[in-house]
Amino acid sequence: MSGHVENSLGTAIQLPIMAPITKVHSLSPTSLKNDDNKADASATYQEASITNSQRVFTSLAAGAIAGGVAKTAIAPLDRTKIKFQISKQPFTARAAIDSLINDYKRDGLVSLWRGNSATMVRIIPYAAIQFTAFEQWKRILKVEEPGREHDHKTRRFLAGALAGTTSQSMTYPLDLARAQMAVSQKDEIKNLRHVFIRIYEKEGIASFYRGFTPTILGVIPYAGVSFFFYDTLKNTFSVYTVHNPGLSAMSGLVSGAVAGMMGQATSYPLDIVRRRMQTSTLNNNLNTLGVLQMTKKIYAEDGIRSFYKGLSMNWVKGPIAVGISFATYDLVKDTLRKILC
């Protein structure tokens, strides 16, 4: 027996029929659009079939796991970056590698993750709140509401910026403690509790938000740009990944990596100011500086280059961390919501 089908150019092709043909997949733009519509319909059904409380729970759980996995993966690089940010030593790739090797020789392999416990205490609630806040802000701002395509990009950026501001405001003292643990010697600070007691006794409760202003000024463009690029790229790639879970995971990593690089480029100088303010009272230095004074001090040391010290390391660790974070979040969130549906 034989039959014929038409390819995407409309040419008839003779085929031997060994068994009944029930469906022929085509990669034409029309079929891709149809697949995209089916994926959108499936996603819409999944979203409609869970309550908002379930949506919040799955976002919190997925965000917590994503943040923990991503930060642990790049903790040694993050610690090394902070050490250079607060020092006058010029940053080079060789110097960063030497720092990692010296820490390993002096204090062992575990020392490369020093301060990671404080990072986990901070990043788990931070990531959980940030991802959840982004979904809720998107809903409040009606980012994906039909008929508002003309301004959805602006609303998506705003949702990301508000999500970053929300999470940073609620977890900032933990970030301060993490920075101090990362740059202190092994015998100076024993644990997270010791950090909080030390800060409170030396400087008072207000010091837990030292460096908060440059942090928020930096997180607004960083979170806004990161979430904007990730959400936009993910939606763009979805038409090609709807039937390929492996390709979908890879597109998530790529989208996250691009989002991380774009976000870092917009906010890194303020990250330098933040770290210097957070660690300025170590070594019994009680002279705290405001944002403008610290900015002038950093500029006086080595000019404009001082504000980009360690950026090359961020180009390595940033895309890795953000890519892992976004991809893990989507995987865990989608899995949990399928279970609940």
Same domain (yes/no): 220, 283: yes
The number of folded domains in the chain is 2
Report d(CA 177, CA 198) in Å as an integer.
Answer: 10
In a domain, 228, yes or no: yes
Provide the pLDDT for residue 95.
Answer: 86
In a domain, 158, yes or no: no
| Residues of the chain above pLDDT 90, percent | 22
Same domain (yes/no): 228, 285: yes
In a domain, 21, yes or no: no
Q: Which domain holds residue 331?
A: 57-102+313-340
Three-state SS for 86-112 is: CCCCCCCHHHHHHHHHHHHHHHCHHHH
Q: Mean pLDDT across the stretch 270-294?
A: 77
- For 226-268, the pLDDT digits (tens) are 999 998 888 888 877 767 766 777 888 888 888 988 888 788 8
| Residues of the chain above pLDDT 70, percent | 79
- For 134-179, the pLDDT digits (tens) are 999 999 998 887 766 667 888 999 999 999 999 999 999 888 887 7
Band of pLDDT at residue 336, cut at 50, 70 and 90 = very high
In a domain, 74, yes or no: yes
- For 36-81, the pLDDT digits (tens) are 444 444 454 455 578 889 999 999 999 999 999 999 988 888 888 8
In a domain, 89, yes or no: yes
Same domain (yes/no): 233, 321: no
Q: Mean pLDDT across the stretch 15-31?
A: 44
Lowest mean pLDDT among 12-16, 107-111, 322-326: 12-16
Question: Pick the residue with more confidence: 281 or 258?
Answer: 258
In a domain, 317, yes or no: yes
Provide the pLDDT for residue 141.
Answer: 92
In a domain, 167, yes or no: no
Same domain (yes/no): 326, 272: no
